[in-house]
A and B are shown apart, each in its own frame.
Chain A
């Protein structure tokens, strides 16, 4: 099976935590997904004045890879991400592009002073990975509350939505897939 969506684990989470997420991505996007580890140059992305990491610089490191043509990559990190105008972001994607980034940093209950809930963290991470990859496939934010493409500006909003697209976004995604040069895998209906 050709690996056409790469999930890069650049976090402290074990790969075993990310494998169910890779499976979910494969179900939603109907593409073969490969999970791999790759280090990022965090030092270059660190902003002293904010104490946060520039999402743009980290994303740029993925895009610098010449072998990126023909596939999509999403990197999972566990540092606090920012873009210049916003105080933080959960993730960022190149719209209809090849790369995306998601951070687990603000997805854990610990960040909000609550007891650790690892399962909840992984569920939120799965939704955000699917959400950002959705943008790379050309999906806009959706107004449906339960759709994975619903914009989330705080963590409770992520909890409200599902990890799958709504019917309308599903249709759009299928249409995009038809026009895409990426070979689609046929999935069992039970998936």
Chain B
């Protein structure tokens, strides 16, 4: 039986549009995004960010970033990128990241999984920095990357390596399901989506399906991120395409291959600037193609 909310009408929906969401991301922001490789990236929102002409982003590329990082760089939205991994997995290097890096058109902060994950953890709980265990002195990241610092461990008196806390201005994640209050249900890999929501000042969720609050309360053990971390929820069917949305559809490998091989300006013209919204983007692929990507686990 449903509980009685005497003030139920006062509980506010967090629903917004892609335009509302993109407008939260300002020039110069630190922008983090969720997912991993060709999976669970908020691609529709990223296309909207490009469409609105956002500039000078400091992109906190996800732990293993592919097309979302590459296309933002290719569209000249990015000034600085915190790199753990930016590549296309079995499809090779991320071509626009590589070119921009080799031409020195972007600033690169060369972290790694410890820098990124423990940095976000520190950001989430307000710790000022991350002390690294011994051994990392033998690697080059703390030598070449200047955001690593050294300090003295007050307990042992030994010199230790530290890296900064990471607190993105805005995190954007794509998930299969959420309710209008921001309660999120993943149907596959969470990766660092939950950590991003905790560490970031604002978090925007795009989702393939809006579910009822009743369905969330029917089994709270399935909720992967509680809604209090979430600022806005946007329903965007196929919002991860051409990446996968775990539990609903596979990644569109042929399309991602053509993105890697093709000309970035022609791609942006055809799939970002040349369509008025997300549904016109989807229409370019057609129902048969999109339905063919669906696969449950």
Question: Bound pair: A and B?
Answer: no
> Which residues of B are at the interface with A, using a C-beta cutoff of 8 A?
none
